[in-house]
Amino acid sequence: MLSLVIYAGCMQANDWFYRLDGADLDVVPPGLPLVVVVTGFADAGAAVSQLEDYMLEHADPKPLLTFNSDLLHDYRARRPSIVFVEDHLTDYEAPELSLSLATDDLGKKFLLLMGPEPDFRWNEFTETVVELATTLAIGSVTWSHAIPMPIPHTRAIPVTVSGTRAEIIEARSVWRPTTQVPATVGHLLEHRFQASGADITGFVLLVPHYLADAEFPAALISALECTSEATGLIFATDALRESSREFNAKIDDQVSANEESAEMVRRLEERHDSYMEDQSVRSPLITDEGTIPTADQIASELESYLAQHAEPKRKQDGSAENDSLGHRADSE
């Protein structure tokens, strides 16, 4: 039954929409979080591109299925790269959009939808992803993208949150506009997942506009932190934080050497701090009684959390499926 669902609508060999990569989807445990990392229209600070590179290097993604790029990708608008070496060509980088099984730094499994944003057939693509999520009994969906905003690099990256997780929206979303924006396929996925009743969280990272074209390490750190908060996955960021400190130090040197730049950053800091004073965003460190926990309490909570997630327990009574988007197809 499952194979019939997967290959429905893929009758012609040269017009398949997606294909299995030799994996058996029945081995995917129910309730896994789905993390969407789709590069495309909005990527200030190269946040999503960096996140893709990070996942490839650290999450050990094993492809389960791959979408047909010849149907989804506009090769003339976004040309793949190829390397010319003296007298021959090598290393053709074909666009690849795939669904993989990946692991975080504690060995916890999750599903990863990653690759270039489709140029064509958005309706078919998003409907297929939602159907696959239902078939695989996905537990939650998380995605991020980044836009340029007039904020200073000397402050933490603000975040706008959308979706169905009211507690995360309340704790993290510092800017809640009502506006019309150019849609990405991530937006459409979120819209369709929300309509299906899924547990979906979308993060918009607000990156300093003067660093929008740079590879901003703080943007990657923020994307990983947001993903962790929504999924419970753990990703190492120590090396990234050192790179971020070095990057910011270079920016500080450049800013201090130019009076106009220094004045711009100072004004951005004043406006940012004034705006944040008026926000009611609740810090995740504040307890229900309004107090800040001690360092020992924080360490105790962290140790407890890591112990619970070091070896994820499978539910033996099948209740995990009841908490997911839907149930697996019955093998009739």
Model confidence at 277, in pLDDT bands (50, 70, 90)?
A: confident
Average pLDDT of 253-272?
96
- C-alpha to C-alpha distances, 122 to 118, 126, 185, nearest whole angstrom: 7, 6, 7
What's the CATH number where 26 sits? 3.40.50.10900
| Exposure on the CB side of residue 118, measured as CA atoms within 13 A | 26
Nearest to 159 by CA among 37, 281, 244, 36: 281
Residue 329 is predicted with a pLDDT of 42
One-letter amino acid at 103 equals T
Convert the pLDDT of each residue in 57-106 to its tens digit.
999 999 999 999 999 999 999 999 999 999 999 999 999 999 999 999 99
Q: Give 256-311 as a DSSP string.
A: HT-HHHHHHHHHHHHHHHHHHHT--PPPTT--TTS-PPPHHHHHHHHHHHHHHHHS
From first CA to last CA, the distance across the chain in angstroms is: 6
Q: Which residue, among 136, 100, 131, 102, has the nearest Cα to 8 in the 3D structure?
A: 131
Residue 45 amino acid letter: G
Note whether residue 318 is domain-resident: no
Per-residue pLDDT tens over the stretch 125-171? 999 999 999 999 999 999 999 999 999 999 999 999 999 999 999 99
One-letter amino acid for residue 92 of the chain? Y
- 322 assigned to some structural domain: no
For residue 317, what are its two tokens? 């009574």
Q: Is the dihedral of CA 58, 62, 64, 65 positive or negative?
A: positive
Q: What is the pLDDT of residue 155?
A: 95
Q: Is the pLDDT of residue 176 over 80?
A: yes
Percent of the chain with pLDDT over 90: 74
Task: Write the pLDDT tens digit of every residue in 206-223.
Answer: 999 999 999 999 999 999
In this prediction, residue 319 has a pLDDT band, given cuts at 50, 70 and 90, of very low
* 326 located within any domain: no
Q: pLDDT tens for residues 225-235?
A: 999 999 999 99
- In a domain, residue 55? The reply is yes
Three-state DSSP at 148 gives strand
Determine, yes or no, domain membership for 330: no
**Structure confidence at residue 304 (pLDDT):** 56
Q: Is residue 324 part of a domain?
A: no
How many domains is the chain built from?
Answer: 1
The bridge status of strand 140-149 relative to strand 33-39 is parallel
- pLDDT value at residue 45: 97
Instruction: Quote the DSSP letter at residue 86.
Output: T
State residue 307's pLDDT score. Answer: 55
For residues 185-204, give the mean pLDDT: 97
**pLDDT by residue (tens digit) across 281-309?**
544 444 444 444 444 544 455 555 555 54
Q: What is the pLDDT of residue 137?
A: 97
Domain ranges, residue 183: 2-77+89-307
For residues 205 and 219, the answer to whether their CB atoms sit within 8 Å is yes
331 CB-contact burial (10 Å; exposed 0-12 / middle 13-18 / buried 19+): exposed
Whether 98 is covered by a domain: the verdict is: yes
Structure tokens at 50: 């960096």
What is the pLDDT of the chain when averaged over all its residues? 85
Question: Which residue intervals of the chain are DSSP H helices?
Answer: 2-7, 47-58, 69-72, 122-135, 166-172, 185-195, 217-231, 238-256, 259-277, 295-310
Residue 27: which pLDDT band, with cuts at 50, 70 and 90?
confident
What whole-number percentage of the chain has pLDDT above 70? 80
